[in-house]
Amino acid sequence: MKSRRSIGFWISLAALGVAILVPAGLALLRRPPAVAVAMPLFPPKSERIRLPGDEARRLTRADGSVQPVKTLLRLDSPMRYGSFVWNDRGVPAGELWLRIDLSKQILSVFRAGEEIGTSVILYGQDDKPTPTGDFPVLWMGRNHRSSLYDAEMPYTLRLTGDGVAIHGSDVREGLATHGCIGVPLDFAARLFAVVRRGTVVTIVQ
C-alpha cells in the first residue's frame, strides 16, 4: 500500500498515462470498487512538477499532432469523487487544451503546455458510451437544460451535434451519464470561464 504522498504523486501523473487508483475500463453503472481519489481544492505550496529538457513529455491528439507538457500539478493527497484541483497561478497565456482519459476517469486542463486543472469525471454507460477523438467546443450554455432527458446541465460545453457535452454534475461513485462528461459544478464553472468555442477537447479510452 503506497503512502498518501506517493499515491497523490501518481494521480498527478494521470494525464501522462501513468496508472492511478481508478481501474482501467471502469463502467460506473457496475459500481466501481472503492477508490481513494481526491484532494484539497488547492494544491500545496510546491505547486508544480516541472518536466525540463528531455524529461518533457508529449501527448498525442486524435489527429496525430502532439501536445508538449511542461508541468503537472503536484497533488499531495489522493483524489476522490466530486473533488478537483484548479491552479493557474504563474501560468502564461497560451492555447487551452482539454484531455479526457476515460479509462482513468480523469479530465486534465492544459494552458501553454502546463496543467492548470484536473478532476475526476463521470462518463457514458455501455449502451450510451462517450465517444473518443478530438472535439472542438461547438456551443456553450451557462444554464442549459436538456430537453431530451429533462435534466439540468449547467455550464455546458457541447462537443458533438447529437448533444455530447462536458457539464456540471453530481460526481458520485456508482453514477454514469448518457455519453456526456460530468464534472463537479465548481470545476465546470471554472472551465466555462476559460474555454472558448473552438477549444479542442481530446477524449481517449
Alpha helix (H) ranges present in the chain? 4-12, 185-194
Predicted confidence at residue 127, as pLDDT, reads: 85
**Residue 8 pLDDT greater than 80, yes or no:** no
Q: What b-and-e string marks burial along 131-166, b requiring 16 or more CB atoms within 10 Å of the CB?
A: eeebbebeebeeebeeeeeeeebbbbbbbeeebbbb
Lowest mean pLDDT among 35-49, 89-103, 141-155: 35-49
The C-alpha cell at 165 is 457535452
Per-residue confidence (pLDDT) for residue 48, from 0 to 100: 87
- The average pLDDT across 87-100 equals 95
The pLDDT-based confidence of 75 (bands split at 50, 70, 90) is confident
What average pLDDT does the segment 29-52 reach?
53
Distance CA(111)–CA(114), nearest Å, equals: 5
Count of CB atoms situated within 10 Å of the CB of 117:
21
Categorize the per-residue pLDDT at 151 as very low, low, confident or very high, splitting at 50, 70 and 90. Answer: low
Q: Among 42-46, 75-79, 103-107, which stretch is predicted with the lowest mean pLDDT? A: 42-46
Residue scoring higher pLDDT (14 or 111): 111
Query: pTM here?
Result: 0.76
b/e for 16-27, b at 16 or more Cβ within 10 A? beeebbbeeebe
For residue 66, give every residue at least 6 positions away whose Cβ sits within 8 Å of its Cβ, in sequence order, or none: 58, 59, 60
Q: How far apart are CA 81 and CA 37, in angstroms?
A: 6
**What is the pLDDT averaged over residues 30-39?**
39
Section 23-32 average pLDDT: 35
For the segment 179-195, the average pLDDT, to the nearest whole number, is: 96
- Is the pLDDT higher at 16 or at 39? 16
State what percent of residues in the chain have pLDDT above 70. Answer: 73
